[in-house]
């Protein structure tokens, strides 16, 4: 298996633009997670899905953030409009089931200027 695949690896955009981050989980994993990592706040869970259904989005910072999982092999995290404070590394992770381990993607480094 190729692991969790995220795209793009790097994204630079101007404030106010829409940004879409993409994730392909490991086949057969029922859980998908979106995390954000910053120097100030470390790794924070934004939202997670189980069998394509959003379960907990309490970590989504604002209405500007939205996430979808239209099928078992694809998820998106969208920021509209983007702001400089959204600059961070966004990670996607998948898991077959709790209490088993999680596998993380390589992350998308987002810079909003």
Partner 1 sequence: KQEVTQIPAALSVPEGENLVLNCSFTDSAIYNLQWFRQDPGKGLTSLLLIQSSQREQTSGRLNASLDKSSGRSTLYIAASQPGDSATYLCAVSGGNKLVFGAGTILRVKS
Residue 62 CB burial class (10 angstroms; 0-12, 13-18, ≥19)? exposed
Please report how close the Cβ of residue 99 comes to partner 1 at its closest, in angstroms: 3
**Least distance from partner 1 to the Cβ atom of residue 103, Å:** 7
| Shortest Cβ 60–partner 1 spacing (Å) | 14
Residues 47-106 that bind partner 1 (CB under 8 A): 48, 50, 55-56, 91, 93, 95, 98-106
């Amino acid at each position: 298996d190729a692991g969790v695949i995220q795209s793009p690896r790097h994204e630079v955009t101007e404030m106010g633009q829409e940004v879409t981050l993409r994730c392909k989980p490991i086949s057969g994993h029922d859980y998908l997670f979106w995390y954000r990592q910053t120097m100030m706040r470390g790794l924070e869970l934004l939202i997670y899905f189980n069998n394509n259904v959003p379960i907990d989005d309490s970590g989504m910072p604002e209405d500007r953030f939205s996430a979808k999982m239209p099928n078992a092999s694809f998820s998106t995290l969208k920021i509209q409009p983007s702001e400089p404070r959204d600059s961070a590394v966004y990670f996607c992770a998948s898991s077959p089931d709790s209490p088993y381990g999680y596998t993380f993607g390589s992350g998308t480094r987002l810079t909003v200027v």
